[in-house]
Amino acid sequence: MKTAAESTSHDALSSLQKSFLIIRNLERKLQEEKNRDPLTEEIAVVGMACHLPGGIRSAQDFWDALLTGEDLIADNGLTARWQDMDQSPDAVHRAMPHAGLLDDITLFDNEYFHISPAEARYIDPQQRQLLMMVANALADAGITPASLKGSDTGVFTGISAFDYSLHIMQQDDKYRVDPYLGSGNSLSGASGRISYCYGFHGPCLSIDTACSSSLVALHQGAESLRRNECRVAIVSGANLVLSPYLQASLTDAGMLSPDGRCKAFDDSANGYVRSEGCLTVILKRLSDAVADGDRIYACIKGSAVAQDGASGGLTVPDPVSQAKVIRNALRAADMQPEEISFIEGHGTGTSLGDPVEAEGLRQVFGSRSDKLLLGSVKSNVGHLEAAAGLAGFMKACLSIYHQQLPPHLHFQQPNHHIDWEHMPFRINKDIHRFGNSHTRISGGVSSFGFTGTIAHCIVAACETTPAGREKQLPAPHFQLKSHWLGKLPGKSAAACFNIQWKPLGALEQKENLPQYIYIDTGAGTAANMEQILKSKNGCALTTDRLSTLDSIIPAPHQYPLCLVYDISALEETDATGMKRIYQQLLAFLQTVQRPAHTPASILFVTRHALNAPGSDHVVALQHSLTAFIRSVFLEMRGPAMLVLDIDQGLPDQAFINNYVQQSYYREIASRNGQLWYPALAVTGLSPATEITCDPEGIYLITGGKGSLGMHLAEWMVHKGAGTVILTGRSPDGFTSNDRIVYRQLDVTDENAMRNFADWLRREKKILKGIVHAAGTNSRCLQSKMSVDDIMYVAGPKITGLQHITTYLPMEGLDFLLTYSSIAAVWGSGMLSHYAAANAYMDAFVLELRKQGVPAKTINWGPWKDSNMMLDTANSTDLLKESGVPPFNAGAVRRVYASLLVPDAPQLVYVCLDNARFITMMEMQGTIAFWENLRPAEDTVEAPVTGKTDLSLIVDDVEREDLIKQELLRLVKQVLAIGDGEQVDTTRSFSDMGMDSILLVKYIQCINSQLGLNVTTNMLFNYPTISGLAVYVNSRFKRTTVVPAKRMTSSLYEMSDEEVLKMVSEEMQKY
C-alpha cells in the first residue's frame, strides 16, 4: 500500500517523467535477467601456465619478461637444432635460422602420466608439453587433478603443427611403423590424451585454424561453459618447430623476417619470426569461480569467430572481416568501443598484415575521442602460430590483473603505410599504469589465421571479490627424462640437474689378476695397504721414491698394472696442510705422465669424499681432491683414473680386481656394504615461492662487483631488500641504485672480515642473506701447474667461505648461497684447480646444513657476458661448439626465487647440448656418469636365441629369483626402459604404462622365453613382477612335482575346497 504522500508525489510527475522511470526500471530488470542468463555470464580465468622461450615456465615468469621488455628470440637457434637432428642440409640452408625456442623439448615425465618409454618416444612432444602444462595450470588454479577425475571437464586445444610425424618418417624403416604412431601424432590425440590421462568426460576438441587456433579454442571453451556442457574448461595451445621444410617454404614465400624479429607496426617490419610454446588457461563460469573462492585473473566478457571469405586470396587478410569480428565480440560482451582500454593486436610485423589490421581497428574504433593503447606480444616472443592467440590472451589477462600494460618492442619509426593521424590508437612503447579510476579495465585480443579464420576476445577486470582466499597449489615436481626417436635436437636454454646415485650391479669378471703398486702417501691406512699388497706381485712405493717409478714398471706388462693412491685417512687441515697435500698429488700426477710405460689404471682410495646414500658426512678436502682428479683425467691420455670412496674398509679384493680393469664406472662409493655410482640426472626446479626480501635487512654479495653479483643485487632490490652490500677487492665501485652499496672487502683477509663483522654489529645491521660469489679464474694445464696456482684460486672460494662462516652471524639468515661451478661436478680441462676450489665449497655447504644454516650451492654453467668468461673474442662460439652454450642473465632472473629456496643442498644449473657435450666428455671412452642423458641406443629386437629352462633348477627360491629376473628383463625390453634404470618390482604393470598392446607383447615374450603358458587373465590377477613371479613359480612346482591325477576317477574323491581351487587355477588360463 502506498502512502498518500507517495501517491501524490507520483501523480505530480509528467507523462515523460513517468515514462523515464518505467524505462529505467525495465532496463534494471533486463540487466538482472541477463546476469541470470548463463548464455551471457562472464567467464573467469582462474588458472594459467606456460612454457615459452627464454626459460619461461610460469605465468609469473612470463609477466616479468613482458614487464622488463625482454626479447626472447634465439638468433640462429634453428640451424644448430636441425644440424644436430641431421636434417637435410639443403632445407636447412634455405630456411631462416632464427626462432623463439623452448628448452630441451625431448624431456617428459612419462612415469607421472603412467606412459611407458616405448609409447612416450612416439608421442608428439607437443602432446607431452600439453599434458605437463595442464598439471601446472590446475595447480595454479588450486585444483587437484584427482578432484576432476570423472567430471564433465572440457578440453579445448589449438594445435596445427605435425613436424614430429615428418621427423619420424625420416627415420629408418624399423621406426616408421609402430602401434603408437597414429595416436601419438594425430592432432585429435592432443586433446584426447589430456582427457584420457586426467579422466575428464566433458567436450574434447582439437582445433586447427592455423594462427588463430588457440583463440578459437578459447571461444569454444567459453561457449561450452555458458551452455553448461562443462563446469571447468581447460584451454591450451601448443606449437613446436621441428622440421626445416615448412620454415624453408615460409622463407621462400617472403613471410619470415631476415633479422628474426616481429617489428609490428614499425616501418622496418619485414616479416615475422616463428616461435615455440605451450600455454594453458583454466576457465570457470564467474558465479562458480566466486563460489569456489578462486583467484581470478580476468573475465571473458565475450568473443567471436569469423572468416575472411572470398578476400584477395586465401592468405590475404581483409580489414572489413576483421572489423566485423571485433564488432561481434563487442556485441557478445555487451560493450561499446569507447569502453575498451587497449588492444592486444595480432601484429605479425608483415608489410601487408599490419596496415590491414590497422584499418580494421579504425573501422571499429574510429569514432573514439581518445586513443587506444596497441601492442603485440609477438614483439617479445615471436609468432607462436597455433598457440599465438592464447599468448596474447594471457598477456592481456596479466596486464589487467597487475593493472599495467607492458611495453611493445621494436617500434622506432611508424609504418608509413598507416595513416597514424586518423588512427584511433597509439603504440604502447613504455609501461602504462592504469589509473585508480572507477573505469573497468578491459581489452580486446585479436588472432587471425592465415587461411582466413579470425577471432577476437574481450577480456575485462573482475568486479566481484571471491568469498575465499587464493588457493594456489605447488606445481608438480616432474622427473624429466629424454624421449625421442632419432638424433636429438640440441638444447636452447638452461636446465637443472642433480647427482643421482644408483646401485652398482655385478662387474664383468676378468681372468687376469692385476699387478698393484701401492703409493704410500702417508694419508692411507695400514689395512688398505695390507689388502692391496696381498695381491699377486704387489709392492709399495713411498712418495719420495716416485722418480723410480719408471724402473719399477715392467715392459711389456705381463699383468694389467694399477697404481693405488690411498688418501683415505686424510682429514680436514689448514691452508698449509692443504698446500702440502696438493703438492704431493701434483708431483705424483706429473711423474705418472713421464714414464715410458704408463699403468693401465690409477685407483684413488678416498673416505667420505662423495655424498652417496648412507653418508653421515663429507670431508670437504677429499671432495675437493676428487674434483681435481676428474679434471686431470680429461687432460691426461693413458691410464683410467678411478675413485673408490669407502666408509670403512675396502670391498673384497675380487671386486677391486674387476673394478680396476674397466673404465665405465669412474667413481664408486661403498656405504655399509652397498656399492653406488653417480650419474647426472635432469631435475625440475623447486616450485617458485613468491620471495619478498626484508626491507629492514642487509644482504651481502661477495665478489659482487662482477656482472653476476650486480645482476642478483638488482633482483633483490626489486624484491624489496632494504640494502644490498656488494664487496670486492678493488677500492672503487659505482652503483646506480642508492639501496645497492659497494664496500671494498677482501674475504681472504681475516682481519678485514673481522672488522666488517664488527661494523655490522656496531651499526646494528640485520644480516638476512649471504651470496658468496667471490672467485678468480685462470686456465692452466695440470702438467704445468704449481701448487701456488691452486692456492691462488682456492683463496676467495675456500678461505673466503671459511672466514664468512666464522665471523659473520649465521643466526637469522634466510639463505646462504655459494656460487660454484659445473667444473666441480664433472671436471674441466685446464681448470682442475678451479674445479677443486668450487668442490670444496660444495662439500662445506653440506656441513653447514648439518649445523642448521640454510645453505645451498649452485654449480653454474657459463653466463653470457660474465666476468668469469675468458676474454677470448670467440669464447661464446667455442662454448657452443663444445655443447655448453652460455645462458642469458634474463633467463636466470626468472629462476632466482626457486634457486634461493634451500630445499636441497646442491643444484646444477647449465645449458647442455647433450649430444655435443657428451661426445666431448667421452673422448676417452663411455662412462656411467652420462648414462641418463645419453640418447637411447637404436636397438632392433632380436629373436630369443635360447629359452630359459626352469626345469633344471631344483631349488624353489633360486627358481623364483630367476623367474623374477627374467620377468624384469622382459619388462624393460617391452617397455623400452634403459638397462641402467631401476624398476620397482612391486609396481603394477599398468602404472608402468603397459597398455593392452604392450600387455600382449609381454605375454608373448614370457611364453617364448620361459616356455610357459601365461595368459592375459594371469597378469590381471597378478599385476606386478613380484606377484607374477611367485604365482608362476607355484604353478611350476605343481606341474613338475605333483603327479597328475586321473580326473575321471579322482574328481569324486576331491573336497569342495579342492574342486574350487582346481577351477580357479584352470580359469587363470583364460
Cell 602420466, residue located:
113
pLDDT band at 941 (very low <50, low <70, confident <90, very high): very low
Please tell me the predicted confidence (pLDDT) of residue 112.
Answer: 94
Number of H helices, E strands in the chain: 40, 30
Other C-beta atoms lying within 10 Å of the C-beta of residue 275: 31
pLDDT band for 481, please (50, 70, 90 cuts). confident
Would the pLDDT of 1048 be above 60? no
SS3 state of residue 20: helix
CATH code of domain 500-677: 3.40.50.11460
Residue 429 or residue 351, greater confidence: 429
Q: What's the pLDDT at 1067?
A: 59
Q: Where are the domains of the chain?
A: 43-482, 500-677, 688-930, 950-1067
620 Cβ partners below 8 Å, 6+ apart? Answer: 572, 840, 843, 844, 847
Q: Is the pLDDT of residue 1034 over 90?
A: no
Confidence of residue 913 (pLDDT cuts 50, 70, 90): confident
Average pLDDT over residues 323-331: 96
pLDDT, tens only, 336-379: 999 999 999 999 898 889 999 999 999 999 999 899 999 999 99
Q: Please report the pLDDT score of residue 869 as a whole number.
A: 54
pLDDT on residue 943? 43
Across the range 143-161, mean pLDDT stands at 97
* 147 neighbors 207 (Cβ within 8 angstroms): no
CA–CA gap between residue 893 and residue 682 (Å, rounded)? 20
Q: Are 521 and 567 in contact (CB under 8 A)?
A: yes
Q: What is the mean pLDDT of the chain?
A: 88
Helix, strand, coil share (%) of the chain residues, nearest 5: 40, 20, 40
Q: What interhelical angle do 575-592 and 787-794 show, nearest 10?
A: 140
Q: Is the pLDDT of residue 1041 over 50?
A: no
* pTM above threshold 0.85: no
CATH topology of domain 43-482: Peroxisomal Thiolase; Chain A, domain 1 (3.40.47)
Q: What is the pLDDT of residue 1?
A: 40
The DSSP secondary structure of 192-209, one letter per residue, reads HHHHHHHT--S-EEEE-B
Q: How far apart are CA 893 and CA 691, in angstroms?
A: 13
Q: Average pLDDT in the 946-962 region?
A: 77
Q: Residue 3 pLDDT > 50, yes or no? A: no
> Of residues 1058 and 430, which shows the higher confidence score?
430
pLDDT digits (tens, 9 = 90+) for 90-115: 888 899 999 999 977 998 999 999 99
Top-confidence range, 1-15, 413-427, 771-785, 1016-1030: 413-427
Contacts of 132 (CB under 8 A, 6+ apart): 51, 108, 109, 112, 476, 478
Enclosing H/E stretch for 226: helix 213-226
Q: pLDDT tens across 849-889, in order? A: 999 999 999 999 988 766 555 445 556 667 777 888 887 77
> What is the model's pLDDT at position 1051?
57
Q: Is the fold of 688-930 the same as that of 950-1067?
A: no
CA 914 to chain centre: 14
Give the confidence band of 76 by pLDDT, cuts at 50, 70, 90: confident
Question: Is pLDDT of 129 > 90?
Answer: yes
Model confidence band, residue 4 (pLDDT cutoffs 50, 70, 90): very low
Average pLDDT over residues 178-203: 95
Distance of alpha carbon 883 from alpha carbon 901, whole angstroms? 28
Residue 441, pLDDT above cutoff 60: yes
Q: Cα(189)–Cα(157) distance, rounded to whole angstroms?
A: 10
Confidence of residue 21 (pLDDT cuts 50, 70, 90): confident
For residue 606, list its beta bridge partners. 645
Distance CA 511, CA 508 (A): 10
Residue 1047 confidence (pLDDT) above 50: no
Residues 6+ apart with CB under 8 A from 828: 631, 634, 821, 822, 834, 835
Query: Above pLDDT 90, what percent of the chain?
Result: 61
Average pLDDT over residues 563-587: 94
Lowest mean pLDDT among 170-179, 789-798, 993-1002: 170-179
Note the pLDDT of residue 1046. Answer: 43
Better pLDDT: 919 or 945: 919
Residue 154 β-bridge partners: 233
pLDDT recorded at residue 911: 85
| Helix axes 244-252 and 77-84, enclosed angle (nearest 10) | 140
pLDDT attached to residue 26: 77
229 Cβ neighbours under 8 A, 6+ residues apart? 152, 154, 202, 203
Strands 298-307, 453-460: pairing kind: antiparallel
Query: In the predicted model, what is the mean pLDDT of residues 300-328?
Result: 91
Pair type for strands 539-542 and 698-702? unpaired
Bridge partners (DSSP) of residue 444 are 343, 458
| Comparison of pLDDT for 228 and 889, the residue scoring more | 228
Q: Which of 74-78, 456-460, 1037-1041 has the highest mean pLDDT?
A: 456-460
- For 602-632, how does the pLDDT look when each residue is reduced to its tens digit (9 = 90+)? 999 999 999 999 999 999 999 999 999 999 9
Q: pLDDT tens, 266-298?
A: 999 999 999 999 999 999 999 999 999 999 999
Give the CATH fold of the 688-930 domain.
Rossmann fold (3.40.50)
- Return the closest-CA partner of residue 415 out of 345, 370, 350, 365: 350
Q: Is the pLDDT of residue 969 over 70?
A: yes
Does residue 1049 surpass a pLDDT of 60? no
Residue with the bigger pLDDT between 159 and 776: it is: 159
CA dist., res. 923 & res. 919, Å (int): 6
Residues 819-825 have a mean pLDDT of: 95
Task: Name the packing angle between helices 319-333 and 353-365 (round to 10°).
Answer: 40
Instruction: Name the CATH superfamily for 950-1067.
Output: ACP-like (1.10.1200.10)
CB count within 10 Å of CB 811 equals 7
Cβ pair 323, 363 in contact under 8 A: yes
Amino acid at 81: R
Q: What is the pLDDT of residue 555?
A: 66
683-701 pLDDT, tens digit each: 877 655 667 899 999 999 9
Residues 730 and 703: their CA atoms lie apart, in Å, by: 10
- Residue 7: pLDDT band (50, 70, 90) is very low
d(CA 717, CA 710): 11
Which pLDDT band, with edges at 50, 70 and 90, does 153 fall under?
Answer: very high
